[in-house]
Amino acid sequence: MDDLQQEFILETRETLEALSGELVIWEAEPDHGEHLDSIFRFFHTVKGSAGFLSLPRFEKLAHEAENALSSLRESKLPITSQLVSAILALVDRISELTAALESGTPVDDGDDSALIDALKAAWEATYNAADGAELADKENSSGADSSDQDVSRSTEVAPEQKLRTIRVPLALLDRMMNSVSDMVLARNEVARKLRELDAAGDLDSAFERLSTCVGDLRDSIGRTRMQRMEGIFAPLPRIVRDLASDLGKKAEIVCKGQDVELDREMIEMIRDPLVHIIRNAIDHGIESPEDRQAAGKPVTGKLEIDASQSGNQILITIKDDGAGIDTTYLGEKAVAARIYDRSEINAMSKTALLNLIFAPGISTADKVTAISGRGVGMDVVRANIERVGGAIDLHNSPGEGLKIVIRVPLTLTIISCLMFQSGDHQFALPQSAVREITSPNNGQVRVDHVGGGSFAVIRDDYLPLVRLDRVLDIEQTSEQDGSAINGPDEMQNMVLIVIDVHGGSRFALAVDAVTDHEDLVVRPGAPAIMTTGIFAGTTLPDNGRPMLLLDPAGVAKSAGVAKDIKHIGAADNIEQNDNDQPEAQDQPVSLLVFHDCAHRKRAIVLDIIERVEDCPSDALAFSAGQLRLTKGDKTYPVFGIERPPQSRQVKMLQLTDGTTTLFYAIAGIADIYRTTSQAIVRGALPSDDNSGVSAIIVADGEQVEMLDSHWLFSQIPGTAIPQGDGRQPLCLLADQDDGWTRRMLEPLITKAGYTISYDVSAAHKADIIVVADDKASEYSNGNNVIRLRQHPQPESGKDSIYRYDRIGLIGALQASYQTRKQGDAA
């Protein structure tokens, strides 16, 4: 009996979750018989089971709802929202009763008759509202309709091809997971022992097989912990509906990606933030129906939520078509809340202003409602998401809506970590926070002691230096804990880990040694450990010794690096201003000095180098007059060598100007040289303007050719024609049906930097019109019309260009555009 009841509770709860979405859709599309059917089925099932288990309250409620729905189905009356609300109320009561039944707590013996009366009243109202004539109409056709319905229902009854599943208690799954983890540890220990033994080959291969099996088992057990996003999405339509109707707004939600799977614990962690964002979107984002009408938007606001998997991350996008965020207003609020003063707000970028919604104590709601507006919220949302190793981004279009993108790792538990040593302690850091690992004795890095603090000077960055052993008060091993505290050599043997704290501040963490890199299963630590704020969790690496995971933000806070929340977004500037800049007007410049493939010493500005990499020589090929490198499905121009080299690999600098990427082949990197912009300007000029060298400077007593990066990029076709004002001119090609225009002319003009249009009706919008000579009569002899002729010989009296005269054509395009621009200006 107990088992049966348990089964009933589980089944009812699950159906309820799925149903709440169904009900809302049904309200929106009342004619959709399917939704009505599934709701009807739910009540029917509850009624049946409740009767069997003798649960009279369930039975009564379900019975009434079933009655109402069935007469609704027969009469074909239009559904009113009053009726939907009444039915929702019944669903809610059933859900309350289910919860009470489950926990064994007694429910107040409240009378359900009020609810049932409300349903009846709603039903009456619906019935009366229906026009008599309409009713007769419906009744006439009802015979045919109901037969339709029967057909549709009979098709539904046909057994669906479903995945066969069984219910397994969570506790059992967790126990399995633990056993498998134990097994993995045992395997590792056996592996260690085997290595010590130098065991015979066949034992090794047998163990290898066992080891693979254990690995597979761990993977499949891991998968049992995954849950579909459906679980989170199902209640959302109901939340949206209820909230919107409370606020007198209209809104609907579209969910996509229900099939995406996520770790069960992760689902629990993101459920609340997601609901909070949805609530915000309806409360602040979606405007009132009147405002929406005035803005020319559909009266019903639209929310879109989309989940997708990308690598080992899940992307959840929440988009609304509401008002977006008014950043100016947000700034005012921040001033009013005395979080920032006006000058700080004025100095902020749009993005920084937008990110103010994550600052504690700021709300965009004018009045506090039950739903939101207390100014606690988005900061908590962000904290929650970041706690599980995720990130949240805003894309704001004022007047058009807000898009929020949440990225969370696939599983809560496995984090890619860097492991390192400080004193006798081993710690781990999430790899995602690590920007760079360097050492004070590699020449590029200097440690300066300023007052009682230290700064790492890495290339041009001044970074606060945090000694982990000091933060954690760890005793140093004997030889390092010498007398020379803060002495010049003291830090020489340490390793600096440059850490990016989310939100902008960056610091260098000094540790004794970096030991390893591993994917670790991280669990939250005991409260006593988590309250220190320095640790993010505990983990058990393969060696079986527990390890603590550091929380980068916590370390920064504890070391006083991120003392002031105001520095977020402007951290770099502030760090620089805090320190004396030796030559304020003269910008420091870092150069990468290298040997090019002809073994000349050359230098290039470090900033434009995206990365240095070894590329296989067979990815290089000479095509279309240029040596190119194949990478993925793209090709990039290669400079610095004439033909693919004999060697198997070639070292390349990947250069970028922000939009275009090219590669420059080099023989090897020599050094990084720090100089100033003035020194480069003062350098001797090359004798040949087209040599690709912009200046000759003297670095450490040697002549070095400065590579002219501007010249390099100007060698790439397509970037060679500067259009000046940043806008792509619109070029109308008037012969839209002509194959030659589409296949030959369009690519040429697009490459030259023009936007193509074929919309002849919008000719007045075009900056330039290009048309075949024989059709040109349709266009006035405006100076922005370029006529193309078929034959090389010009016809007398007609100003036209031969259609294969590229230089002439491009020239004419530019000339027409310039004239038109001047005409506009005048």
Partner 1 sequence: MSSLYLLASLAGREIVIPATHVESVVKVHDIVPVPAVSPQICGLFALRSRVLTLVDCCCFVEGHKCGYQPGQLAIVATIDGHHYGLLVDAVHDIITSEEEPIAATGDLGQGWSTIGNEMVSIDDGRLVLVMDITNVVNPSQPLAA
Q: Could you tell me the sign of the dihedral formed by the alpha carbons of 210, 211, 212, 215, in that order?
A: positive
Output 185 or 437, the one with its CB closest to partner 1. 185
Build a one-symbol-per-residue string for 383-422: x at contacts with partner 1 by CB under 8 A, - elsewhere: ----------------------------------------
Q: Does 182 bind partner 1 (CB under 8 A)?
A: yes
Output 213 or 698, the one with its CB closest to partner 1. 213
Rounded to whole angstroms, the Cα distance separating 408 from 152 reads 42
Closest CB 498 distance from partner 1, rounded Å: 22
Output 350 or 523, the one with its CB closest to partner 1. 523
Output 287 or 469, the one with its CB closest to partner 1. 469
Closest CB 526 distance from partner 1, rounded Å: 4
Output 142 or 558, the one with its CB closest to partner 1. 558
Output 82 or 558, the one with its CB closest to partner 1. 558
Closest CB 411 distance from partner 1, rounded Å: 16
Closest CB 13 distance from partner 1, rounded Å: 23
Closest CB 535 distance from partner 1, rounded Å: 8
Rounded to whole angstroms, the Cα distance separating 776 from 704 reads 57
Closest CB 475 distance from partner 1, rounded Å: 9
Query: Do 521 and 181 contact (CB within 8 A), yes or no?
Result: yes
Structure tokens at 279: 């609530």
Closest CB 415 distance from partner 1, rounded Å: 15
The 10 Å CB-count burial string (b at 16+, else e) for 794-810 is eeeeeebbbbeeeeebb
Output 180 or 591, the one with its CB closest to partner 1. 180
SS3 722: coil
- CA nearest 390: which of 382, 400, 401? 382
Closest CB 45 distance from partner 1, rounded Å: 35
Look at strands 401-409 and 513-523 and give their pairing. Answer: unpaired
DSSP H/E element including 140: helix 132-157
- CA nearest 77: which of 121, 31, 40? 31
Output 317 or 538, the one with its CB closest to partner 1. 538
Q: How far is CA 334 from CA 283, 339, 364, 404, 503, in A?
A: 20, 6, 10, 21, 18
Q: Does 425 bind partner 1 (CB under 8 A)?
A: yes
The string of DSSP codes covering 343-403 is HHHHT--HHHHHGGGGSTT--S-SS--SSS-SS-SHHHHHHHHHHTT-EEEEEEETTTEEE
Output 527 or 739, the one with its CB closest to partner 1. 527
The string of DSSP codes covering 208-250 is HHHHHHHHHHHHHHHHHTEEETHHHHTTHHHHHHHHHHHTT--
Determine which residue in the list 160, 473, 580, 633 makes contact with partner 1, applying CB under 8 A. 473
Closest CB 213 distance from partner 1, rounded Å: 17
Q: Could you tell me the sign of the dihedral formed by the alpha carbons of 125, 131, 134, 139, in that order?
A: positive
Output 539 or 654, the one with its CB closest to partner 1. 539
Closest CB 524 distance from partner 1, rounded Å: 8
Output 240 or 521, the one with its CB closest to partner 1. 521
Closest CB 146 distance from partner 1, rounded Å: 54
Closest CB 601 distance from partner 1, rounded Å: 49
Build a one-symbol-per-residue string for 121-150: x at contacts with partner 1 by CB under 8 A, - elsewhere: ------------------------------
Determine which residue in the list 323, 353, 472, 556 makes contact with partner 1, applying CB under 8 A. 472
- Residue 364 burial (10 A CB sphere; 0-12, 13-18, 19+): buried
Output 546 or 724, the one with its CB closest to partner 1. 546
Closest CB 473 distance from partner 1, rounded Å: 6
Q: How far is CA 593 from CA 389, 439, 615, 639, 667, in A?
A: 38, 20, 20, 17, 11
Query: Do 682 and 694 contact (CB within 8 A), yes or no?
Result: no
Rounded to whole angstroms, the Cα distance separating 379 from 356 reads 9
Query: Do 423 and 477 contact (CB within 8 A), yes or no?
Result: yes
Build a one-symbol-per-residue string for 554-573: x at contacts with partner 1 by CB under 8 A, - elsewhere: ----x---------------
- CA nearest 403: which of 414, 392, 411? 392
Q: Does 178 bind partner 1 (CB under 8 A)?
A: yes
Q: Does 171 bind partner 1 (CB under 8 A)?
A: no
Query: Do 429 and 466 contact (CB within 8 A), yes or no?
Result: no
Query: Do 424 and 473 contact (CB within 8 A), yes or no?
Result: no
Determine which residue in the list 280, 372, 426, 709 makes contact with partner 1, applying CB under 8 A. 426
Which residues does residue 365 pair with via DSSP β-bridges, in sequence order?
none
Q: Does 739 bind partner 1 (CB under 8 A)?
A: no
Rounded to whole angstroms, the Cα distance separating 692 from 696 reads 12
Q: Does 170 bind partner 1 (CB under 8 A)?
A: no
Determine which residue in the list 61, 79, 184, 466 makes contact with partner 1, applying CB under 8 A. 184
Determine which residue in the list 70, 142, 149, 181 makes contact with partner 1, applying CB under 8 A. 181
Closest CB 520 distance from partner 1, rounded Å: 11
> Residues touching partner 1: how many (CB under 8 A)?
30
Rounded to whole angstroms, the Cα distance separating 431 from 385 reads 17
Build a one-symbol-per-residue string for 185-224: x at contacts with partner 1 by CB under 8 A, - elsewhere: x---------------------------------------
Q: How far is CA 387 from CA 125, 128, 492, in A?
A: 51, 55, 34
Output 2 or 473, the one with its CB closest to partner 1. 473
Output 544 or 717, the one with its CB closest to partner 1. 544
How far out from the chain centre does Cα 751 lie?
32
Build a one-symbol-per-residue string for 265-294: x at contacts with partner 1 by CB under 8 A, - elsewhere: ------------------------------
- The 3 state secondary structure assigned to 143-192 is HHHHHHHHHHHHHHHCCCCCCCCCCCCHHHHHHHHHHHHHHHHHHHHHHH
Closest CB 269 distance from partner 1, rounded Å: 14
The string of DSSP codes covering 659-675 is S-EEEEEEEEEEEEEEE
Phi and psi of 668, rounded to 5°?
Answer: 180, 160
Q: Assign residue 110 a region (left: φ > 0; alpha: ψ between -120 and 50; beta: otherwise).
A: beta
Query: Do 327 and 353 contact (CB within 8 A), yes or no?
Result: yes
Output 525 or 552, the one with its CB closest to partner 1. 525
Closest CB 197 distance from partner 1, rounded Å: 23
Rounded to whole angstroms, the Cα distance separating 216 from 218 reads 5
Output 524 or 588, the one with its CB closest to partner 1. 524
Determine which residue in the list 412, 429, 471, 608 makes contact with partner 1, applying CB under 8 A. 471
Determine which residue in the list 380, 474, 612, 621 makes contact with partner 1, applying CB under 8 A. 474
Output 418 or 548, the one with its CB closest to partner 1. 548
Closest CB 345 distance from partner 1, rounded Å: 37
Closest CB 527 distance from partner 1, rounded Å: 6
Rounded to whole angstroms, the Cα distance separating 402 from 357 reads 12
Output 106 or 527, the one with its CB closest to partner 1. 527
Residues between 493 and 552 that touch partner 1 (CB under 8 A):
523-529, 532, 534-535, 538-540, 544-548
Structure tokens at 199: 């065991």
User: Which chain residues interact with partner 1 by CB under 8 A?
Assistant: 178, 181-182, 184-185, 425-426, 471-474, 523-529, 532, 534-535, 538-540, 544-548, 558
